[in-house]
Chain A
Amino acid sequence: MARRLAVFAVVALIVAGTAAAGLWFVPFVAGVAAGLLPLRRPGIVPAATLGAVAGWALPLWILALRGLPAGATARAIAALAGIPPYAAVAVVVTLLLAGLQTLAGAWLARALAPRRSSAANGDLGREPDEVGGVVPGPAVDR
């Protein structure tokens, strides 16, 4: 649990910090990093994904906290993007992008990274397909 919380917090802070610099792809990098972590514990990738979502939510929250018209801006963004002109839609789409990037990054890392020994990677000593077949995407984090 502590590891997952730590991953969540670190990813959230890094993603939030780099968003201000225009580094929009950092959630993907975070996903790759989570996928490569030697700690194959259940929930690491979901924690990283939630951390990325929180990392992108944080600047929006700060906008609102500072009294800036975040809701009206969200509505305008949705309207200009051609999606239903509701503030919640723009917020959801924005956060979804962060989450999708992280999941894709983790999947890529898990799919391409060399296998470690079960002792080294700390898993249960079984390949994913040995416990339920090949699961595409980030669900390999088990």
Chain B
Amino acid sequence: MRTPGRWRRPGRVLSAVGAVVVSALLLGILGFGYGTVPALGPALDPGRGAWTSAYDGTPVSSQALSVPGLAKPVTVSFTKDGLASINAGDQRDLFLALGYVQAKYRLSEMDLERRLGEGQLAQLGGPSDLASDEFELRLGLLRTAQNEWAQTTGTARQALLGYAQGVNDDIAQVRADGDWPAVFTLTGAYPRPWTPVDSLVIQGVLTQELDYTTGPLDYAILQRSLGAANATAWFPTVPANTLSPYDPGPYLKEPLTPVAADLASSAPAGQSPTATTTATAGPEPARRAANVDDAVTEAAGQLLDELGQLPADQIHEYPDSNAWAVNGSKVEGGGALLGGDPHLPQTLPSIWYEVALSAPGYQVAGASLPGVPGVLLGHNAHIAWSLTDTQDSATLYYAEQVRGDEYHWRGAWRKMTVEHYTIPVRGGATVQLAVDITVHGPIMTQVGQRMAVDWMGNVPSDDLGALLGINQASDWTQFKAALADWRAPTQNFTYADNDPVTGQAATGQTGNIGVYAAGYYPQVPGGCQPWLPMSGAGQCDIDGVIPDNAIPQVYDPPSDVVATDNQRPVAADYPYYVGTSYDFYDPGYRAANAYQTLGSASQLSAADIAGLQNSLTDPLAAQIVPKLLTALGSASLTSAERAALSALSSWNYSMSATSPAATVWWTFWSDYLTEVFEPWWKAGHVPVGKDTADLGVSPNLASLDEDLQAWTLTSPDNRAFAGPSGHGPADASAAMAAAFGKAVSHLSAQLGGAPSSWAWGRVHSREFPAVSGADGLGYGPRASGGDPFTEDAADGGLTATAGPSWRMVATLGAAGVSAEGVYPGGQSENPASPWYANLIPLWWDGQYLPVPAPGSVSDDLKWTLNG
């Protein structure tokens, strides 16, 4: 048989083969994608692909929309800035409409958050997100959300079901129209239907970001490296500096509230890992704590390595929220004022969606969390509230004795509960994960010493029921009652109302204020050390939580001021354990500043509270700089040092972007910490690389700030100054002089020129990255004032990425309750939308917009939602 003529020449064959191969590859990659490269054909199809997200980027117009499931029509109106008001005939319709509206504007953000919590991020982002998925599935946000949903009843259950239907109504419309947010089209990973568990997972993600810490792991490493004596001295239970607790006592000492042993195990219902499986295998070593041996330290380091692979801000990092309230003589015209600005990672889109909600029996406005029904921070017709993180010790670690699939607890071997997960990975092989769970919680380390985490975020908590309760509360009693079932995260719920002042009804005076730090504060038996990993044998199990009557709280204090700025909420004589100075408590500079500013003022207005929220005064500088000036008074200085010192001597302690003195101060303080502590760290070989933010010497370590502040002010000859060799600076003055010289030298090399040109904004900026992580969709970096100690906090380093995520000031008087607020972002997640970043300029300039009142209807734009 002869080969056809056209195939005789090898060149033609090669051309044919090449054409087939290239065409197949091109169509295959375009149609199905390859690895993490998406299916670009449908993704970039200009008629149906990601380009159609342009339709969603247009300004909103008034229209009627069909939303299945609504019993009656619902009105949604928007101000020209995008602030939404939803008015419904009943609460179910209200939450359904809220789900629909939030999905309209934040669907990809909501999907991303639930994926994060449910360990499905790698399906979207590929192998680089696998570490996050494995961590989350081990930790158990999904298991806890499922446990919570099984226990959710009443209003919260109806709210979750209605909300889920609203989200799904939007998903169905988008699917029918094909106008998906671009991220779905580009990845080909479209959102599955929304469920109530998804909302509870998102609630869990926020809990994790506020409450999950590595404190005991880091402490174990520091203790091992620096020695127990130094670790205890430098990271004490009660910090060395002066405290400004909002609950100064006297304190109740009541019996602990008992809790189940497997309180926070995250094991699925009915699968508690407490059953005995075999006879006792000899006595368990009676290690209660403090036995931070090599195995425990190694396990701590291993876990820190794993956590280091997580995206930024996935676990708790910064303690910088503010919430204050004033009443009585402090308030112009009487009544009360409340200011709240939670300091969280600042992203585009923002974590918040501003909304006013109105239905019979439910009138509330403020900041809501996309994915969760209700308003988290806001006001109703009687009260206003805001939250700051309590920062207490809520993450305990236990070193477990394990053999095979069993662990040893309370004298017997017991079967661990094992949960299996399948993790889809975009562009990679699917991964199988098995999670072992003990009575204390999930095992987080996979080799060597097994470490379980007993995290209060895994306690099923009816946060949504509590939230809906405070949304509807009208006085302090109802407010506290609503929080009775709040378990985690522990939060300082700062409160103000326009009710008659307790005991003063006859005078007509209105406006009560208070703080109630709701949540579970785990307690362990005496002799155990919860700031370190503890033995899992049973002796150091949580034996109860602080009773409700005794948790930190204050109501209508004589000073007419309450201020919660993440400082330690109680004084040194508080009879329960709430954590050490290493537990992310703020050093208290903002709280002291707030108490001083508000306490010395009278006739305050909303503008005054807003001014304090935007304050750039560094209270620590105000204390330390005079000492520095004194220390350098007779020193021989270079011309640059003299100029820098001159800037400091005339400084008003404002960390404004234009201030050269701010640059000198911050660089000096960082170098001062290094001058004093770095020799100890080097001598102890502290493995800083395991967790740079929490192990490295920097202003980020509040304990070190507190130590050095206290030593400089009250014990300038502390032995620490001399260093481990004993040949370091003789005292605080010598250390300050050395640090100042280095700071000026550093800045001369970095910025050049005269110190008068060293504006803070040249080295310090803020940036709001995109939630998607995409370059070009964030905001900044932009030169900015502030530092971690200013009320207008800037956290995350010299390019700050965390700070005031929402600012609100509420005015509560006889005429009612109103509020103004702003957040750095916009209501829409679509970068092409005029509402993507339109609120940032207002936020940046310290301006606010009126928070739409519940029940209000804006004339600017209106939707009518019909069932």
Contact = CB atoms under 8 A, between A and B. Distances in A.
B30 interface: yes
Contact of B44 (A68, A93, A129, A133): A93
Contacts of B42: 22, 24
A21 B602 CA distance: 67
B430 interface: no
Most chain B CB within a 10 A radius of its CB, from A84, A104, A111, A133: A111
Main SS of the interface on chain B?
helix
A80 B775 CA distance: 8
A114 B47 contact: no
Kindly state the interface size class of chain B when it binds its partner.
35 or more
B770 A79 contact: yes
B772 A73 contact: no
A81 interface: yes
A124 B52 CA distance: 46
Given A19-B47, A73-B831, 16 more contacts: A24-B41, A56-B46, A69-B832, A73-B51, A73-B54, A77-B53, A77-B186, A79-B770, A85-B775, A85-B776, A86-B776, A97-B30, A104-B26, A107-B19, A112-B16, A136-B18
B37 to A, nearest CB: 9
A113 B566 CA distance: 75
Nearest to A67: B58
Interface residues of A, number: 55
Contacts of A19: 45-48
Contacts of A68: 54-55, 57-58
Contact of B12 (A90, A134, A137): A134
A44 interface: no
17 contacts: A24-B41, A28-B26, A59-B51, A73-B832, A75-B776, A76-B53, A76-B182, A100-B26, A104-B19, A104-B22, A107-B15, A107-B18, A107-B19, A108-B22, A111-B18, A129-B11, A134-B9
B57 A73 contact: yes
A78 interface: yes
A105 B47 CA distance: 21
Nearest to B17: A111
Contact of A85 (B12, B51, B777): B777
A93 to B, nearest CB: 7
A101 B831 CA distance: 30
Contact of A136 (B15, B51, B54): B15
A5 interface: no
A25 B46 CA distance: 12
B2 interface: no
Contacts, number: 162
Contacts of B727: none
Contact of B53 (A16, A73, A97): A73
B47 A59 contact: yes
B775 to A, nearest CB: 6
A74 B46 CA distance: 11
A25 B30 CA distance: 9
A28 B55 CA distance: 27
Nearest to B836: A72
B22 A79 contact: no
A81 B777 CA distance: 12
A39 to B, nearest CB: 20
Given A73-B832, A97-B41, A108 B54 contact: no
A25 B19 contact: no
B20 interface: yes
Contacts of B41: 24-25, 97
A125 B51 CA distance: 46
Contacts of B182: 73, 76-77, 80
B14 interface: yes
Most chain B CB within a 10 A radius of its CB, from A69, A85, A100, A140: A69
A58 B45 CA distance: 12
A60 B54 CA distance: 10
Contacts of B183: 80
Nearest to B778: A79
